Structure 1
Amino acid sequence: MRIAVLGTGSGGRAHAARLLQLGHRVVVGTRDSQVTLGRTEPDFMGIEPFGQWLADYPGIELMTFGEAAAEADLAINGIDGANAVRVLGGIADQLAGKTLMDYAVPFVYNPERAHPWPTPWGVMPALDPVDSDSLGERIQRALPDTKVVKACVTQEQETAVDPGSVGGGDHTIFIAGEHADAKAQVTALLRSYGWRDVLDLGPLVSSRGMEMYTHMHSAIQFALGGARFGIKVVR
């Protein structure tokens, strides 16, 4: 399958590398390919420049967002939450009729708030939108001809693409969306990653719960000293 990973951060890299390993044709989308490849310093998270990472994965192509989306049978959104709706709206034609798996979280970094939440690495970002809307829903409204499926929000993407690395894979991943065929397509992809327990939460409004869970996930991870973990729904 031809799969576009939109975004060059650590999450996008995790998906791209795993998809290449699984035999897919992988294209990664960015705003400006030459600018992305020209970076020589780690980003603000300390992640190595994309060009250095890409050199270890021959076969992955870097394109603009629009070019990558046009090439794909399925797309994965890893664009940061503050810019995702704007960027994806600009390539709506290239994504029309396709499934878009969205794992982005609507973080607002360095928020001005009366009672900040200090963390080991700074102040916890705020969520916007929250409660009465979600990033997943906003993306669907901006892309009415695309089938948006929210997934992979409730753990690090390194765990999402390799569930067996935590607890032998005995944990749960969640999806939500309005289109049964798109959810089936995403479920098949998740099972190829190694997920055995894929829980469909129903309509895309459930994105609100998944996105809001991210703060709880962080709190648990702080308590575990930064270790990766999974959550399991016990029936």
Structure 2
Amino acid sequence: MKIAVLGTGGGARAHAARLVGLGHEVFVGTRDPEATLARSEPDMMGNVPYGQWLAGHPGITLTSFGDAAAAADELVINGIDGHSAVAALTATAGPLTGRTLIDYAVPYVYRHRSEHPWPTPWGVMPKLDPCDTDSLGEQIQRALPGVKVVKSFVTQEQATVVDPRSVGGGDHTMFVAGDHADAKQRTTGLLESYGWTDVLDLGPLVCARGMEMYAHMHSAIGFGLGQRFGGHFGIKVVR
């Protein structure tokens, strides 16, 4: 299958590499492919320059957001940062129409001013915007009514999403939410190919609010485990 991954950060790289390993043809989208390949310094999370990473991962095609989406058969994975996602995806609305868009972005706002900041091992915790009464997943769906948006992957680090067995032998839970049953089925199928055995359908896309707000709890658990960035752990819904 031809699958598009939008974004070049660590999470998007994890998906692209895993998908190629599963035999898919992967098209990675970025705002400016030439600029992306020209970068020579690690990104803000310490990932090596994309061109260097790409050279070690044959089978991945780097192109623009629009061209990557157009190349996909059905599935597009959104790894664009939450602050920029709606604008970038809206500009790519045409090629995305009719496709399933799996969104794992968190609507973080960095370098904000807070009366009661949350200090972390790497700085002040970003705030969520939107929060409570809306979600990034819903904003994307409203902006792109012709796209089938599914919120998923967002409750785990992406390295764990693509390799669930690396934590507890894979005995933990992944969630999906969306307003299109067929799109959620495609998303669940992809998760099962990654190795997930416990995928819980939360219902309509409004449930993306809970998944996005969980991001702060995810960070708190990681800090409690002594993990500075992200976290190598899973969560399990016990029935």
Into which bin does the TM-score normalised by the smaller protein fall?
over 0.9
Alignment of structure 1 residues 64-213 onto 2, 5 Å: 64-73=64-73, 74-213=75-214
Structure 2 residue 200 is the aligned partner of structure 1 residue 229: no
In structure 2, the partner of 1:218 is 219
1:95 counterpart letter in structure 2: L
- Structure 2 distance, partners of 1:146, 1:66, is 14
Tell me the SS of whatever aligns to 1:82.
Answer: helix
Q: Over residues 133-152 of structure 1, what are the superposed CA-to-partner deviations in whole Å (9 max), with x where a residue is unaligned?
A: 00000000111000000000
Cα RMSD for the two superposed structures: 0.5
**What is the number of residues matched between the two proteins?**
235
> Following TM superposition, by how much is the alpha carbon of 1:225 offset from its aligned partner in structure 2, in angstroms?
1.0
1:232 counterpart letter in structure 2: K
- Structure 2 distance, partners of 1:18, 1:164, is 13
Tell me the SS of whatever aligns to 1:201.
Answer: strand
- Structure 1 distance, partners of 2:177, 2:14, is 21
Where does structure 2 lack aligned partners over 5 or more consecutive residues?
A: none
1:22 counterpart letter in structure 2: L
> Following TM superposition, by how much is the alpha carbon of 1:110 offset from its aligned partner in structure 2, in angstroms?
1.3
> Following TM superposition, by how much is the alpha carbon of 1:76 offset from its aligned partner in structure 2, in angstroms?
0.2
- Structure 2 distance, partners of 1:171, 1:93, is 36
Q: Over residues 151-198 of structure 1, what are the superposed CA-to-partner deviations in whole Å (9 max), with x where a residue is unaligned?
A: 001010000000000000000000000000000000000000000000
Please give the TM-score of this superposition, normalised by the length of structure 2: 0.98
1:202 counterpart letter in structure 2: G
2:71 counterpart letter in structure 1: E
- Structure 1 distance, partners of 2:84, 2:132, is 19
> Following TM superposition, by how much is the alpha carbon of 1:232 offset from its aligned partner in structure 2, in angstroms?
0.2
- Structure 2 distance, partners of 1:46, 1:146, is 33
Where does structure 1 lack aligned partners over 5 or more consecutive residues?
A: none
2:178 counterpart letter in structure 1: G
1:58 counterpart letter in structure 2: P
- Structure 1 distance, partners of 2:119, 2:160, is 25
- Structure 2 distance, partners of 1:188, 1:141, is 25
2:38 counterpart letter in structure 1: G
> Following TM superposition, by how much is the alpha carbon of 1:72 offset from its aligned partner in structure 2, in angstroms?
0.6
Please give the TM-score of this superposition, normalised by the length of structure 1: 0.99
List, as ranges, runs of 4+ consecutive aligned residues in structure 1 with deviation greater than 6 Å: none
> Following TM superposition, by how much is the alpha carbon of 1:47 offset from its aligned partner in structure 2, in angstroms?
1.2
Tell me the SS of whatever aligns to 1:29.
Answer: strand
- Structure 1 distance, partners of 2:44, 2:212, is 23
> Following TM superposition, by how much is the alpha carbon of 1:45 offset from its aligned partner in structure 2, in angstroms?
1.6
Alignment of structure 1 residues 31-50 onto 2, 5 Å: 31-50=31-50
Tell me the SS of whatever aligns to 1:48.
Answer: coil
Tell me the SS of whatever aligns to 1:174.
Answer: strand
Q: Over residues 6-26 of structure 1, what are the superposed CA-to-partner deviations in whole Å (9 max), with x where a residue is unaligned?
A: 000000000000000000000
- Structure 2 distance, partners of 1:217, 1:127, is 13
